[in-house]
Chain A
Amino acid sequence: MLDFVSKFTNKELKFYKLNNKYFLASPELDKCRLDNKEQYFGLFLGEDINDEFKPAFGLLDWLSKNSTEKIFVKDIGEMDFLYGKSLRSRHILRVEGETKIGFLKLVQNEHDENLGYGKITGDFTKTQQVLKPKLDRGLFLKREKKDKQLSSESKR
Chain B
Amino acid sequence: MSFLTDRYKEMGGEVKFVHSKRCIRVNTKKISVEALKTRLEKKHIELEKVPFLKNAFFVKSKFNIVSSPEYLLGLFYIQDAASQIPGEVLNPKSLTLDMCAAPGSKTTQLCEKVPVVAVDSNKDRIIALENNLERLGIDNCIAYLLDAREVNKKFDYILLDAPCSGNYILEDGWLKKTTLKRIEERSYLQKELISKAISLLNKDGVLVYSTCSLEPEEDEFVIQFALENFNVKLEKIDCIGDNGLTKIFGKKLDPSMKYCKRLWPYKTNTIGFFVARLRKC
Contacts and interface: CB of A to CB of B under 8 A. Distances in A.
Looking at chain B's contact residues, is the secondary structure mostly helix, strand, loop, or mixed? mixed
Given A29-B142, A42-B140, A35 B130 contact: no
Given A32-B117, A150-B124, A25 B139 contact: yes
Interface string A89-111: 00000000000000000000100
B69 A34 contact: no
A25 B73 CA distance: 21
A52 interface: no
Contacts of B69: 78-79, 82, 109, 115, 137
A53 interface: no
- Most chain B CB atoms below 10 A, which of A25, A56, A147, A151: A147
Nearest to B150: A36
A16 to B, nearest CB: 11
Given A32-B115, A43-B137, A57-B135, A38 B142 contact: yes
A151 B103 CA distance: 11
B43 to A, nearest CB: 10
Nearest to B140: A29
B82 interface: no
Interface in B28-87: 66-67, 69, 72-73
B143 interface: yes
Contacts, number: 98
A151 B126 CA distance: 11
B44 to A, nearest CB: 13
A154 B122 CA distance: 10
Contact of B128 (A115, A137, A147): A147
Interface of B: 66-67, 69, 72-73, 95, 103, 115, 117-118, 122, 124-131, 133-135, 137-146, 150-153
16 contacts: A29-B115, A33-B142, A35-B152, A36-B144, A42-B141, A42-B142, A44-B134, A56-B134, A57-B134, A78-B69, A115-B72, A137-B72, A141-B66, A143-B131, A147-B124, A151-B124
